[in-house]
């Protein structure tokens, strides 16, 4: 306990040093917002396993290392060729390296003029009022140490604003890279689709080496009436990283929000997903986590049906090998007047070793009476009959198992509608199955 306090103090001491370098220091409302965040963080600290929602995920030993804010370190130069493999083809890119936006590495040529895509730090200079109307709004009622930390510390982020009726003709990729060791980065993204707008955003998080660091990212997503937003997220952090992210989305009438998450990297990765579904709005939330060694993946999702006639679909799949551990907690809450809700939640897990473990808990909280809600969970090994069937077709046992494991994962990859991103994810996934002889073109 004593050490936890002292590590908290270190974070707070450091804040005084870096405060003046944070973006938006001239904006009173933001200074105030950050101060509130800091105050709450200083009383709460980071969540511990005593918090019900963090029972299975212990970040305390990690946090104790007192990562230094990237702002306290000299910035690094990254060459464009070092970035190549992070770019998903046929996308616009906003690149953040070690907590700073890089103009030279970003690629925004041909972006329609009416669409606003920039670094959050730029947006705070160029259109602070626009930022003000969204920043903090989707997380307003949340009380959570990582949000408060993020609010106080965020150094950068992605700002996307798609005006009414505009359809972005190409996806936008956030490329978030950490190259330094023992640093903490905090990123706040704001993604806004105005009425009738359409867009696809890919958030991708990478680490360049096998280093320990903290990535804290919060995305606030606003999907207005009749707007359609797809958010893909790829977490491929370095092998010793702690990745804590939260996506908070607000959906209005008749809007759709599709979310698809791929968690491959990091040592501990916590994803939170909070979705407020409006009248006759639909959300589709999906995720795949693939872990080995001592990796730990924690997915917490909350779907709130506040209005009638909404629908939600959720499918998270986990593949765990070695001593990897997974957590899935999904909560669907249907409020009193939210009638005619159609909701489905599933979590399927494949445990490839005896030492892998998954804690899964789907939860329905229903206050309305005219709703259709289903949920299902499976935890298991590969089906013996399927392995034998493939063997009887001359495929070796090992290859058969790889094929089946890959097929289990591939169902999620198949959901990607952007072909360049699909190939990108498939290639990453293939690296996770080194000995399978799986050929991409045949899947």
Partner 1 sequence: MLSIKDLQVKIGDKSILKGISLDIKPGEVHAIMGPNGSGKSTLSHVLAGKEGYTITGGSIEIEGQDLEEMAPEIRAREGLFLAFQYPVEIPGVSNIYLLKAALNAVRKHQGLTEVDALDFLALVKEKIKLLGMDEKFLYRSVNQGFSGGEKKRNEILQMAVMEPKMCIMDETDSGLDIDALQIVAAGVNSLRSEKRSFLMITHYQRLLDYIVPDVVHVLADGRIVKTGGPELALELEQKGYGWIGQVE
Shortest approach of partner 1 to residue 412 CB, angstroms?
Answer: 10
Nearer to partner 1, 150 or 402 (CB): 402
Q: Contact 236/205 with Cβ under 8 angstroms?
A: yes
Nearest of 85, 174, 93 to residue 427 by alpha carbon: 85
Q: Phi and psi dihedrals of 11, rounded to 5?
A: -60, -40
Give min distance, CB of 206 to partner 1, in A: 27
Near partner 1 by CB under 8 A: residue from 50, 110, 129, 442: 442
Instruction: For the beta carbon of residue 307, count every other beta carbon within 10 angstroms.
Output: 20
Shortest spacing between CB 395 and partner 1, in angstroms: 5
Contact predicate 49/58, CB 8 Å: yes
DSSP 3-state of 331: strand
Binds partner 1 (CB under 8 A): choice among 89, 411, 417, 427: 411
CB of 441 to partner 1, least distance (A): 7
**Is the Cβ of residue 25 or residue 396 nearer to partner 1 in the bound state?**
396
Q: Which is nearer to partner 1, 39 or 411 (CB)?
A: 411
**Least CB distance from residue 381 to partner 1, whole Å?**
14
Q: Which is nearer to partner 1, 201 or 400 (CB)?
A: 400
Yes or no: say if 330 and 375 are a contact pair by the CB < 8 Å rule: yes
- With contact defined as beta carbons under 8 Å apart, do 180 and 208 qualify? no
Gyration radius from the chain CA atoms: 21
Nearer to partner 1, 2 or 394 (CB): 394
C-beta of 245 vs 405, nearer to partner 1: 405
Secondary structure, 3-state, 158-198:
EEEEECCCCECCCCEEEEEEECCCCEEEEEEEEEEECCCCE
Contacts with 41 (C-beta within 8 Å, 6 or more apart), sequence order = 11, 12, 145, 148, 149, 152
**337-396: contacts with partner 1 (CB under 8 A):** 383-386, 388-396
* Cα gap 213→414, rounded to integer Å: 32
Supply the minimum distance, in Å, between the C-beta of residue 112 and partner 1: 36
**For residues 92 and 108, is the Cβ–Cβ distance under 8 A?**
yes
If one asks whether residue 111 binds partner 1 (CB under 8 A), the answer comes out as no
The reply to whether 434 sits near partner 1 by the rule CB under 8 A is: no
Among candidate residues 192, 189, 138, 130, the one with its CA nearest the CA of residue 162: 192
Residue 212 or residue 443: which is nearer to partner 1 going by CB? 443
CB of 87 to partner 1, least distance (A): 28
Residue number, 221 or 403, with CB nearest to partner 1:
403
Out of 164, 279, 399, 428, which residue is the one contacting partner 1 (CB under 8 A)? 399
The site that binds partner 1 (CB under 8 A) totals a number of residues, namely 28
423 contributes a contact to partner 1 by CB under 8 A: no
Comparison of 103 and 396: residue with beta carbon closer to partner 1: 396
430 binds partner 1 per the rule CB under 8 A: no
Smaller CB separation from partner 1, 247 or 382: 382
Contacts of 275 (CB under 8 A, 6+ apart): 249, 251, 257, 259, 283, 285, 301, 302, 303, 304, 312
Distance CA 34, CA 154 (A): 9
> Nearer to partner 1 by C-beta: 78 or 443?
443
407 binds partner 1 (CB under 8 A): yes
Q: How far is CA 28 from CA 41, 138, 141, 158, 174, in A?
A: 20, 20, 21, 21, 28
- By CB under 8 A, residue 427 contacts partner 1: no
125 touches partner 1 (CB under 8 A): no
CA atoms within 13 A on the CB side of 49: 9
Query: Which residue in the block uniquely carries the two structure tokens 């996770």?
Result: 432
The least CB distance from residue 394 to partner 1, in Å, is 4
Of 158-166, 169-177, 187-195, 397-405, the segment contacting partner 1 by CB under 8 A is 397-405
How far apart are alpha carbons 307 and 320 in whole angstroms?
37
List the one residue from 48, 75, 82, 410 that touches partner 1 (CB under 8 A): 410
Query: With CB under 8 A as the contact rule, which of the stretches 62-70, 241-249, 269-277, 403-411 interacts with partner 1?
Result: 403-411
Please give the residue ranges that form the binding site for partner 1 (CB under 8 A). 383-386, 388-397, 399-400, 403-404, 406-408, 410-411, 437, 439, 441-443
């Amino acid at each position: 306990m004593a050490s936890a306090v002292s590590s908290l103090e270190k974070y707070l001491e450091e804040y005084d040093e870096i405060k003046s370098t944070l973006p938006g220091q001239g904006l009173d409302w933001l200074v105030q917002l950050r101060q509130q965040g800091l105050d709450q963080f200083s009383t709460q600290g980071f969540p511990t396993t005593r918090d019900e929602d963090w029972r299975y995920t212990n970040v305390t030993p990690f946090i104790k290392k007192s990562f230094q804010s990237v702002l306290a370190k000299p910035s690094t130069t990254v060459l464009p060729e070092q970035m190549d493999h992070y770019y998903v083809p046929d996308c616009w890119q906003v690149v953040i390296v070690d907590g700073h936006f890089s103009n030279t590495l970003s690629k925004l040529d041909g972006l329609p003029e009416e669409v606003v895509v920039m670094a959050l730090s730029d947006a705070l200079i160029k259109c602070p009022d626009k930022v003000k109307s969204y920043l903090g709004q989707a997380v307003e009622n949340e009380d959570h140490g990582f949000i408060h930390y993020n609010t106080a510390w965020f150094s950068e982020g992605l700002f996307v604003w798609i005006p009414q009726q505009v359809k972005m003709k190409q996806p936008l990729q956030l490329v978030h890279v950490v190259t330094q060791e023992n640093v903490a980065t905090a990123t706040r993204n704001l993604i806004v689709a105005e009425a009738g707008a359409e867009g696809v955003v890919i958030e991708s998080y990478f680490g360049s080496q096998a280093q320990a660091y903290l990535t804290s990212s919060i995305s606030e997503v606003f999907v207005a009436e009749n707007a359609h937003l797809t958010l893909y997220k790829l977490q491929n952090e370095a092998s010793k990283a702690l990745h804590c992210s939260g996506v908070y989305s607000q959906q209005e009438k008749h809007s759709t929000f599709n979310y698809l998450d791929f968690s491959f990297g990091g040592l501990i990765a916590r994803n939170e997903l909070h979705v407020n579904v409006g009248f006759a709005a639909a959300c589709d939330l999906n995720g795949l986590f693939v872990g080995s060694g001592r990796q730990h993946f924690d997915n917490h999702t909350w779907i709130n049906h506040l209005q009638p006639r909404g629908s939600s679909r959720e499918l998270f799949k986990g593949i765990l090998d070695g001593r990897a551990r997974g957590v899935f907690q999904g909560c669907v809450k249907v409020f009193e007047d939210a009638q005619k809700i159609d909701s489905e939640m599933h979590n399927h897990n494949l445990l490839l070793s005896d030492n892998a473990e998954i804690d899964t808990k789907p939860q329905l909280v229903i206050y309305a009476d005219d709703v259709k809600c289903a949920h299902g969970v499976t935890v298991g090994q590969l089906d013996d009959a399927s392995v034998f069937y493939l063997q009887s077709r001359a495929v070796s046992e090992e290859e058969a198992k790889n094929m089946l494991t890959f097929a289990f994962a591939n169902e999620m990859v198949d959901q990607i509608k952007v072909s360049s991103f699909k190939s990108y994810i498939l290639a990453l996934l293939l690296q996770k199955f080194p000995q399978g002889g799986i050929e991409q073109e045949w899947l």
